[in-house]
Structure 1
Amino acid sequence: MFFDRPESGELSVLVHLELPLPIEQNDSREFEELVLSAGGDPVAMITGSRPAPSAKYFVGTGKLDELLSAVREHEAQIVIFNHELSPSQERNLEQALECRVLDRTGLILDIFAQRARTHEGKLQVELAQLKHMSTRLIRGWTHLERQKGGIGMRGPGETQLETDRRLLRARIKAIGKRLDKVRKQREQGRRSRLRADIPTVSLVGYTNAGKSTLFNAVTDSDVYAEDQLFATLDPTMRRISVPDLGATIMADTVGFISNLPHRLVEAFRATLEEAASADLLLHLIDAADDERARNIEQVNEVLEEIGAHTLPQLLVYNKIDLLQEMAPRLDRDDQGRPIAVWLSARKLAETGEGRDLLEAAIAELLTENVVHQNIILATDEGSLRARLFRQNAVQNERYLADGRCELEIRLPESDLRRILSAESLTLEDLTLNDQFGVDGQQIAS
C-alpha cells in the first residue's frame, strides 16, 4: 500500500510562503530538491508572503486562484506545500484545486517510503505514515459517514470511518510492539559490544552531506550512496580496524533535515538510538554548502532531541574538492584535542587522501593511553599471543633462540588490560624487552 510508486514523475506545483517569525522557515531550494528526490516533476513554484496562515486554505483567496490557474495550465497532478498543513486545510485545498495536496511532512514520509529497504525500515515508515494518516482519514470517507443499513446490518453498528480508525489503532499498536522488540535487540547488541570493549563511532549529519560515501570509503562497503536527499534510510554497521585503537564499530545513520517532523523522530527512535549510544559522533558537514552553519545548527537540535548532544563530536568537513585549492587538514583546539577534519570522501575512496588524519583524530578522541612496546612471551603463553593478534595489536613478531616469542604491540592500554585480565595477568606480569617503543618507554598518545 505504502510502497507502490508511479512509474514516472508526477507533475507538481510547489507552494512556498514567507511567514513571520517565530514560525519555522523552510528553505525553498531544499524544498525543490525534496520534491525531485520523491520523483516529482516541478512545473511551477508559487511564492508569496503572509502575516499568518489562513485557517481555511493556509493561503489567501488570491493566491488560491493563482494556484488553481497553475494547476489547470500545467495539468498538474499534485500540489505540494513547503509547510505543515492541518487535515482540514488539506481537505479544503483538495476540494478547491481538484487534485491531490501534500504538505512537507507527507512529502518526507513519501521519500522515506521509497528508500526503506529492510523490514525494520519499512515498519518505521509505515508507523509514521499511519500516525500521519489517522488525522486525515475522513477525507476518503465523507460518503460513508452514515451507519450501515440493509438486512442483517441494522442496529448500533459502527460507521466505516470508525472501523478504519479502529483498524489503524490496532495496526499502530502491532507495529509499535514489533519495533519495541527491535529496540531490545539493538540494546542487546550494544551491551555485547560494551562487554567486548569495542567502541562505536556513528556518522551523523544533514541529509546529502556525504555520510554514506565516507562510510563506504572507510569500511570498504557498498551502501547505497547518491547525490540526493535521504539516500540512506536504513542504518548500517561495519567493523573496522583503526590504527592505535583497534577494532571499532562504525554506524551510518539516516540524515537529518530542518524541521524534521516529530512523528519521524519518534518512529525512527530505535534507529537514532545507535547515534545516542555511540562513543563518538562524526558530524559530517558539506563544506561547499552555503547553508552549512544553519545545517550544523539543525543537526545539533535533532541530537538534543534524541539525547545525543552531550556525546563527544568530531566535525568532518566533507567535499573540500569542490573548494578551490583546499587540502585535507586536521584542526585542534587550545588544548591540542582534535575538533575538525577537512577532507573529500570521494578522494578518500579513490586515493586514500585524508584517511590518516581521520583515523588519527578518531583514535586520539577515543583513547587516552596507547601502549607501544615489545613484550616477550614464554612458550606456554600462546593463548595471550592469539588474543593480541585477534585485536590487531601485533606490529611485528620474531622468535628468540630459546623458543620464546617477541612481539611489538600497539593498542589502547584499556584493551591490553582487558586481554591480560582474561589471561589472569597484569601489566606487571609482562616480560619486557630492554628496547621497546620509540624511546624505551610506554608511549601515550
Structure 2
Amino acid sequence: MIDKKKVTSEKAVLIGVVTQLQDEDQSKEFLDELEFLVNTAGGVSIKRFTQKLEKPHPKTFIGSGKLEDVKRYIDTHHVGTAIFDDELSPAQLRNIEKVLDCKILDRTNLILDIFAQRAQTSYARTQVALAQCQYLLPRLTKLWTHLDKQKGGIGLRGPGETEIETDRRIVRDQIDVLKKRLKVIDKQMAIQRKNRGKMVRVALVGYTNVGKSTLMNVISKSDVFAENKLFATLDTTVRKVVVKNIPFLMADTVGFIRKLPTQLVESFKSTLDEVREADFLLHVVDVSHKNFEDHIASVNQILLDIKSADKPTMMVFNMIDAYTHETIDEDDLVTEKTAEHYTLEELQKSWMSKMGNNCVFISALHKENLEDFKSRVYEEVKKIHIQRFPYNNFLYDEYSEEEA
C-alpha cells in the first residue's frame, strides 16, 4: 500500500560526516535525529550520504567527489532538497548550491523552520523571526529581484546601493525592530514573574521529546499540547500545582537538542529565564532511548551555558514502560532481558539510580510510580518553602490528603 504522506511530502537527502570528533555510531545517531527533524518539518528522507574526513571540507563540507555522487542521485531521483547535519558557513552554502542546484538546508536552518511552524503565540513568533534573521544575514544572496527595475539615468549614475546591500539593510532593520519588540515583551514577562509572589518555582527541563509536556499534564491536570514530535512545545507554560498542602508553580520549557543553534539560545532568552529563575529543576529523561546518557550530557551543558547547572535537580527517568536495555543486570550474561523482565525495583537498583543524588523512575503516559514522584517533589519543595517561610512550619504537621 502506498503511503500518501510520503508521496506528497518533500523529498530530501541527508548528508553527514564521520570525523575524529564524531565516529560512525555518533554520525548515524545524529542522522537518525536529523531524519526525525525532517519528518517533524513535514518532509521525508529517502537517502543518506556520509563521508569519512579528518574535518568537514572548508569549501563544500564533503569532498568534491562525494558531492558529485550526491548530485547524480538528486538528478536521477528528482530530489528537491539536500540537508546537511551541521551548520554550513556562508561560503560552503554558496559553493554547494552551485554544484547541486537544489534547495540546500543545514541543521540550524531546519530547526529554525520547525520552530517557525510550531510557534503559536506572538512572543514565540517574534523570537523565531529574530533567530531566522540573525541566521539569514551573513548568508544573503540575490534571493529577491525587487530592484531589477532600478536603473541609473542622467544624474543618477554612481556607486549607488547594490541589491545585496539593500537586502542586508532590510534584514538589519528587521533585526532592530524585533529586538526592540522582544525587549518590551521581556520586561512584561519579568514583571509577570515578579507578580507570582514568592511561590516556589519548579521547571521541567530535558531533551526534546522526552515527555515533559505529558508529565506536566498529569501533575497539573492541565491540557498542554503534547505530541511525539521534536519541539512540540515552544511556548513556556506555567501552571499552579498543589501537592499535599504546598502550592508551587511548574513551568514546561522548550526542549533542548544537541547542536542547538546559538541564534535560538539568544532569541529564546526569556524562555530560558524560566529555568534560570527556577528554585528547583526536574530533569526529565527518556530512559528508553539508547543514547539517553548523551542527551543528559547535552542538557547539562546547556544548563551550564545559561548558569543554571548548580540548581537543586531531580533526575526523572521517564518512559520506563518502554525501557528494553540489556545492561540492567551486568552479572546475568545468560538470560536475555525483555521489557517485561524490568520491574521498577530492578530499575531502582540499577546503575542509573546512581547518576544523580536524587533520581526517580516513572511512566508519565501510563501514570506509573507517580505517587513516589509526587512525594519526592513535595519533600524538595518543602525544603525550599521552609527556608522562604520559616514561620509556617506548622503547615507540615497536618495537611490535606487531597493531592494534585
How does the TM-score come out when normalised to structure 2? 0.83
1:417 aligns with 2:373: no
Match of 2:184 among 181, 184, 192: 181
Residue of structure 2 equivalent to 1:213? 214
The match for 2:37 is 34
Q: Residues 317 and 134 (structure 1 numbering): CA distance in 2 closer, same or farther, change over 3 Å?
A: same
Aligned to 1:69: 72
Q: Which residue is equivalent to 2:328?
A: none
Correspondence 1:402-413 to 2 at 5 A: none
Residue identity in the other structure for 1:208: N
Q: Secondary structure at the match of 2:234?
A: coil
Q: Residue 252 of structure 1: CA displacement?
A: 0.5
Residue 244 of structure 2 corresponds to 243
Who is 1:128 aligned against? 131
Quick one: structure 1 residues 152 and 229, their matched pair in 2 at CA, closer, same or farther if it must change by over 3 Å?
farther
Distance 1:67 1:217, change over 3 A: same
SS at 1:368 equivalent: helix
| Maintained 8 Å contact 2:207/2:295 | yes
The amino acid that maps onto 1:355 is L
Q: Percent identity?
A: 41
Question: Quick one: distance in 2 between partners of 1:120 and 1:78?
Answer: 30
Q: Secondary structure at the match of 1:309?
A: coil
Indicate the residue corresponding to 1:88 in structure 2. Answer: 91
Q: Which moved more, 1:26-35 or 1:58-67?
A: 26-35
Matched, 1:346 2:347: no
Q: Over residues 26-59 of structure 1, what are the superposed CA-to-partner deviations in whole Å (9 max), with x where a residue is unaligned?
A: 7221111111111111111111211222222111
Once the two structures are superposed, the pairs formed by residues 193-272 of structure 1 within 5 Å of their partners are 193=196, 196-244=197-245, 246-272=246-272
Task: Give the letter aligned to residue 13 of structure 1.
Answer: V
Letter in 2 for 1:321: D
- Aligned residue type for 1:58: F
Which has the higher relative contact order, 1 or 2, with Cα contacts under 8 A spaced 6 or more apart? 2
From the superposition, tell whether residues 151 and 239 of structure 1 become closer, same or farther in structure 2 (CA, over 3 Å).
farther
Say whether residues 1:98 and 2:94 are aligned partners.
no
Distance 2:127 2:187 in 1: 15
Which residue is 1:400 aligned to? none
Give structure 2 stretches of 5+ with no counterpart: 1-6, 324-338, 399-404
Counterpart amino acid of residue 238 in structure 2: M
Distance in 2 between the 1:142 and 1:187 partners?
Answer: 42
Q: Which runs of 5+ in 1 are unaligned?
A: 1-6, 371-411, 419-426, 431-435, 439-445
Higher strand share: 1
Contact 1:13 1:70 in 2 (8 A): no
CA deviation vs aligned residue, 1:177-197 (integer Å, no higher than 9, x gap): 11112222222122222xx32
2:58 aligned counterpart, secondary structure: coil
The 3-state SS of whatever aligns with 2:161 is coil
Mark the CA change 1:178 to 1:330 in structure 2 (over 3 Å): closer, same or farther.
Answer: farther
Q: Secondary structure at the match of 1:63?
A: helix
Q: Residue 413 and residue 27 in structure 1: after superposition, are their counterparts in 2 closer, same or farther (change >3 A)? A: closer
- Of 354-363 and 211-220, the range deviating more from structure 2: 354-363
> Given the superposition, is the C-alpha separation of residues 160 and 247 from structure 1 closer, same or farther in structure 2, using an over 3 Å criterion?
same
What does 1:261-340 align with in structure 2 at a 5 Å threshold? 261-323=261-323, 324=339, 325-327=342-344, 339-340=358-359
Contact 1:147-1:160 at 8 Å conserved across structures: no
Deviation digits for residues 296-326 of structure 1, max 9, x if unmatched? 0000001111111111101100000113333
Distance across 2 between alignment mates of 1:102 and 1:357? 45
Q: Shift of residue 282 of structure 1? A: 0.4
Alignment partner of 2:223: what SS?
coil
Instruction: Give the TM-score of the pair, scaled to structure 1.
Output: 0.76
1:338 and 1:243 mapped to 2: Cα distance? Answer: 24
- Structure 1, residues 306-347: CA drift from partner, whole Å, max 9, x if none? 11111110110000011333338879x99xx97011000101
Structure number with larger C-alpha Rg: 1
Q: Which has the higher helix share?
A: 2
Distance 1:231 1:369 in 2: 31
**Alignment-mate amino acid for residue 209 of structure 1:** V
Partner of residue 379 from structure 2, selected from 364, 376, 382:
364
Report the AA paired with residue 12 of structure 1.
Answer: A
Q: The residue matched to 1:12 in structure 2 has which SS?
A: strand
Contact 1:205 1:256 in 2 (8 A): yes
Contact (CA 8 Å) 1:338, 1:361: kept in 2 or not? no
CA distance in 2, matches of 1:172, 1:299: 28
